[in-house]
Amino acid sequence: MPLFMVEAVDQNGKKVRKVFDTDENTLFTYLQFSNLTPIKVKSLPDFLKYLNIRKLFKRVKRSEIIEVLENLHLIVKSGLPLSTGILDLAEDAQNPALKDILYDIAFKVQGGMSLSNAVEPYRDILTDVVISLFRIGEETGTLDRTLKDAAEHLRRIEDLVSKTKQALIYPVFALTAVLSALIFWTVYVMPKLVKMFEDMGIELPSVTKGFMYFANLLKSYGLFILGSIVLSVFLIKFLKKKNEKVRLVFDRLNLKLPVLGVILTNFYYAFFSEYLRLMISAGLPLNRSLEIMGNSLRNYVFKKAVLNVRSKIEEGFGLANSIKGEGIFSPLIVRMISVGEQTGGLEEQLRYISDYYYNKVDYISQNIAKMIEPIVISIVGVFLMIIMISLISPIFDLITKLST
């Protein structure tokens, strides 16, 4: 599809600029549909498509998506035409990016496209899970229920993410403050004190000399060290995208990090159980559910494990035995799924597992500050000890000389 930059006036008389990747006839039909009067239309080079230039300006919060899904649930349940309901949501949206997305979806739905196909270009915003639920709801005639399930799924994730971010504020602030103080003492304070001690002819202890060596190293190669760290981060991200083995190594390391690794592991346990429950309750086959889930997981360790489980299911193995063979799922998950398979209550067991691990992650995220506090205190203590030893030893020598 060609790429166009359009300068237009909206229904409020405000001048706007937007990028569209569509053919010329559809472009002008869409502009009329969304109440935009074109002033200038410019064709853009095709290579800009690879930069995802249209998506660069679409910043939509998860909370906004949750609100849209809840409203869509009510629209479908009330029997209102879907395109009309989405158009009403677009007109009420405050976020310009969300407004554009909803107008585009409404335009496609009104043209006869299914909702799941209409939202496909926005997979990075809605996630694979939500789009899969859309498709299942359309195929089974239970779109109102799957929309509600999708909203609930995103809300639980949003709650956990927001609580974890809030809990990390204290340790991040504390570590940043300590690091800033360390750099300040190293670069500005200690060199002046050391020069004063040397002028007085005081022999510096090994700790002070080591501290000054570090200070000189930081002053001489600080920018180089910072640049190397930034370059290493970008290189690691690039290698993770291009090489599955590198991604597997780093994702496995993430799961072994103190505190954060526990949160991630339990979150993926909860996500796995919740997603599988939603798919089974919607009537999707188990192997297909695992395939979609595996493709949507970001952590490659769990992604690989879920896809391996899917292959074993297709070979005729049971879900519990397949999961147990991967070695990354907890014994609780294996036992509960095994009971669910034997009693025919797999969906109920999966709900219990997801609730258990979501609550566990919630508890950890709320108490993460207390868990990390000993580490922060230890770092601060070591820093102060080094400073005190570096200063007290020369001062003690100075007092000794003066007393004699």
Dihedral of CA 202/207/208/209: which sign? positive
Start-to-end CA distance of the chain, whole Å, equals 89
Q: Which two three-digit tokens encode residue 69?
A: 């899904």
pLDDT of residue 56: 47
Dist CA 46 CA 262 (whole Å): 45
Which amino acid is located at 81 in the chain?
P
State the Cα–Cα distance between residues 194 and 207, nearest whole angstrom.
12
pLDDT of residue 4: 72
The alpha carbon torsion through 377, 378, 384, 390 (nearest 10 deg) reads: 180
- What pLDDT does 116 receive? 87
Nearest partner of 66 among 142, 107, 126, judged by Cα: 126
CATH class of this structure's domain 62-135: mainly alpha
Q: Residue 46: what pLDDT?
A: 62
Rounded distance, CA 172 to CA 299, Å? 23
Q: What are the b/e assignments for 153-162, b being 16+ CB within 10 Å?
A: bbbbbeebee
Domain locations in the chain? 3-56, 62-135, 260-366
From first to last of its 404 residues, what are the pLDDT tens digits of the chain?
667 777 888 777 777 777 777 777 777 787 778 778 888 887 776 655 555 544 544 578 888 999 999 999 999 888 888 888 998 898 888 888 888 888 888 888 888 888 888 888 888 888 777 888 888 888 778 888 888 888 888 888 888 777 777 766 777 787 787 778 777 777 777 777 777 777 776 667 777 777 777 777 777 777 888 888 889 888 888 887 778 888 888 889 888 887 778 888 988 898 889 888 887 877 778 888 888 888 778 888 999 999 999 999 989 888 999 999 888 999 999 999 999 988 888 889 998 998 899 888 888 877 777 777 777 778 778 877 777 777 776 777 666 666 65
Whole-model pTM?
0.71
- Positive/negative CA dihedral, 17, 21, 25, 31: negative
Give how far the C-alpha of residue 197 lies from the chain's centroid of Cα atoms, to the nearest Å: 51
Shared fold status for 62-135 and 260-366: yes
Domain 260-366 of CATH type 1.20.81.30: yes
